[in-house]
Amino acid sequence: MSSRVRVRFAPSPTGPLHIGGVRTALYNYLFAKRNRGTFILRIEDTDQTRYVPGAEDFIFEALDWCGLIPEEGPANGGPYAPYRQSERKDIYQKYADQLLESGNAYIAFDTPEELQEMRQRIKSEGNPSPQYDSITRQYMKNSLMLPQDEVKSRLANGEPYVFRLKMPRNEEIKFEDLIRGWVSFHSNQLDDKVLMKADGLPTYHLANIVDDHLMEISHVIRGEEWLPSTPLHVMLYRAFGWEMPHFAHLPLILRPDGNGKLSKRDGDRLGFPVFPINWTDPETGEKSTGFREMGFAKEAFLNMLVMLGWNPGTDQEIFSMDELVRTFSIERVGKSGSKFDFDKAKWFNQQYIKRMDDAELADAVLPRVQAAGYKADRKFVAEVCRLLKERVHFINEIVTEGKYFFEPVSTYDEKTVNKKWKPELRESFVEIGKLFGSLNSYSAEEAEQQVKGLVEQKQLKLGDVMPLLRVMLTGTTAGPPLFEMAALLGKDEVVRRIEKFLTSINE
């Protein structure tokens, strides 16, 4: 194994990449950058029966949006190419043969029916967890139990077979995990896993170990769901006589109530995304909204994710990517699962939107403005962003909550109109409209001074006039400072909207 830090994110294209997978990629990326190492993407697609069309492209697009760009991978190649396991299938047979020759693996001819019969028999004997192991292999059709002449005959006749790892009996298997410390398993609890399938393709376990070795992976940082497989991987490293990488198994991202692993069903039920970007199921056509399309800034999304399991040891919560690279360490990743809190996720996004430069934010908002059918230039959108970014949780809300900047007002807040409007106010608002129209050097400060002066002259209450003026200009009672908003709309548009309201209220 190389002394250099080399880590890999190795997803399977069996469905859309969940935020738990993105977090695994993020931790690998940060660990590599912190240690001046290499971040690698490898697609583990040996299980073709579970391959989902579009899932691999989804992985590429999601990582690209997050800015987690690998130095080596299927898209950009590298010294250990190819980085897609289905393109490496010719590599694995010789390693399976090597295990067979060393006595660490054997050939099994058992049919699916025979395997099922074995499982049923063991269950009937009171064991609820039947497995093909050091005891049951003695009663099955494999190269350890059959006469060698029969083994050769079956092979010559082209009978289907698999390679299985020969798991030793009565042995403790220990390894040190960078997050969990020393972890121990007993070999009697483990089965003789299939390493090569009847179709000649390796299983995940063999391909994973061989590829990690050949690609000189120094640290395997992955989800805790792979922890039960690690003793098998340890035994494979031993069988090959290879140096093991360092292991680190990340805690789960839990449901908001802490009861179990976060899933798509939880997002559907509670109304939040669990995928980084939009996903359309190729079989059902069902659409799932992603964090990107909901209006999350990628920096906020990553900041939120990194805190689901990692603790910087300080009160700081907002980190730039550069700060994360300098600060992140595997040692500060916790063992326990972290509850996903969508309100906290929105808070992170709100903080990033507030901190974004108006022009930078406009670049993200302008395509959404155009997609909604509005016409506006970048400078105008940047000003809208300036006024609204303190008030929104999502980038999209700058368009939806601020639609009155882009289209005429068509409806008015009924509660405010019913409470505040009096026919005797009409003449005062006619004068306010004329006042706006007569302003020469139009600014928020001048408009506010002139309107408030007129209200005082008319002996009216600001609490009656201002809410109505806001409703006339926006249709709603919430929004940015009234006169700054009016200044951005422009005096001609302000006059039109006041006149339109007065006409509609008369009708």
What tens digit of pLDDT does each residue of 159-176 get? Answer: 999 999 999 999 999 999
3-state secondary structure of 482: helix
Q: Which one-letter amino acid corresponds to residue 506? A: N
- Residue 292 contacts residue 325 (beta carbons within 8 Å): no
Average pLDDT taken over every residue of the chain: 95
What pLDDT, on the 0 to 100 scale, is given for residue 223?
97
Determine the Cα–Cα distance for residues 455 and 470; give it in Å rounded to an integer.
Answer: 15
What pLDDT, on the 0 to 100 scale, is given for residue 46?
83
Structure pTM? 0.91
Structure token pair of residue 339: 């509850």
Residue 248 has pLDDT above 90, yes or no: yes
What pLDDT, on the 0 to 100 scale, is given for residue 49?
85
Instruction: Please name which of 14, 22, 12 lies closest in space to residue 250, comparing C-alpha atoms.
Output: 22
**Segment 111-143, tens digit of pLDDT:** 999 999 999 999 999 999 899 999 999 999 999
- Residue 425 contacts residue 468 (beta carbons within 8 Å): yes
**Segment 270-289, tens digit of pLDDT:** 999 999 999 999 999 999 99
Cα–Cα distances (Å) from 191 to 144, 209, 231, in that order, read 15, 17, 11
With the CA atoms of 372, 374, 378 and 383 taken in that order, what torsion angle do they form, in degrees rounded to the nearest 10?
-90
What pLDDT, on the 0 to 100 scale, is given for residue 3?
73
What pLDDT, on the 0 to 100 scale, is given for residue 286?
95
DSSP 213: H
How many angstroms separate the first and last alpha carbons of the chain?
82
Phi/psi at 338 (5° precision): -115, 130
Structure token pair of residue 262: 């976060």
Instruction: Please name which of 470, 458, 462 lies closest in space to residue 431, comparing C-alpha atoms.
Output: 458
Per-residue pLDDT band at 312 (split at 50, 70, 90): very high
Phi/psi at 279 (5° precision): -135, 135
For 90-196, CATH number out of 3.40.50.1220, 3.40.50.11810, 3.90.800.10, 3.40.30.10 equals 3.90.800.10
Residue 471 has pLDDT above 70, yes or no: yes
Residue 507 has pLDDT above 80, yes or no: no
Q: Which position among 89, 197, 261, 264 bears the catalytic label? A: 264
- Residue 220 contacts residue 153 (beta carbons within 8 Å): no
User: Can you list the alpha helix ranges (DSSP code H) found in 312-374?
Assistant: 321-327, 342-355, 358-371
With the CA atoms of 157, 160, 166 and 167 taken in that order, what torsion angle do they form, in degrees rounded to the nearest 10?
-160
Determine the Cα–Cα distance for residues 17 and 27; give it in Å rounded to an integer.
Answer: 15
**pLDDT, mean of residues 190-217:** 95
What pLDDT, on the 0 to 100 scale, is given for residue 59?
98
Residue 2 has pLDDT above 70, yes or no: no
Q: Cβ–Cβ contacts within 10 Å for residue 239, how many? A: 18
- Residue 192 contacts residue 231 (beta carbons within 8 Å): no
Element (H, E) at 177: strand 172-177
What is the Cβ-side half-sphere exposure of residue 296, based on CA atoms within 13 angstroms?
A: 30
Comma-separated ranges of CATH 3.90.800.10 domains in the chain: 90-196
What pLDDT, on the 0 to 100 scale, is given for residue 48?
80
Element (H, E) at 152: helix 148-156
- Residue 73 contacts residue 8 (beta carbons within 8 Å): no
Place of tokens 């809410």: 467
For 6-72+207-254, CATH number out of 3.20.20.20, 3.30.1490.390, 3.40.50.620, 3.40.50.300 equals 3.40.50.620
* Max CA pair span of the chain: 112
Domain 414-506 CATH class label? mainly alpha
DSSP 64: H
**pLDDT, mean of residues 211-234:** 97
Residue 28 has pLDDT above 90, yes or no: yes
**Segment 396-450, tens digit of pLDDT:** 999 999 999 999 999 999 999 999 999 999 999 999 999 999 987 778 999 999 9
**pLDDT, mean of residues 22-50:** 95
Comma-separated ranges of CATH 3.40.50.620 domains in the chain: 6-72+207-254
Comma-separated ranges of CATH 1.10.10.350 domains in the chain: 414-506
The architecture of the domain spanning 357-406 is Orthogonal Bundle (1.10)
Q: Is 264 a catalytic residue?
A: yes
Q: How far from the centroid of its chain's Cα atoms is residue 201's Cα?
A: 30
Residue 383 has pLDDT above 90, yes or no: yes
Comma-separated ranges of CATH 1.10.8 domains in the chain: 357-406
Instruction: Please name which of 268, 262, 295 lies closest in space to residue 281, comparing C-alpha atoms.
Output: 268
**pLDDT, mean of residues 326-333:** 96
Residue 1 has pLDDT above 50, yes or no: no
Determine the Cα–Cα distance for residues 311 and 330; give it in Å rounded to an integer.
Answer: 10
Q: How far from the centroid of its chain's Cα atoms is residue 481's Cα?
A: 36
- Residue 340 contacts residue 255 (beta carbons within 8 Å): yes
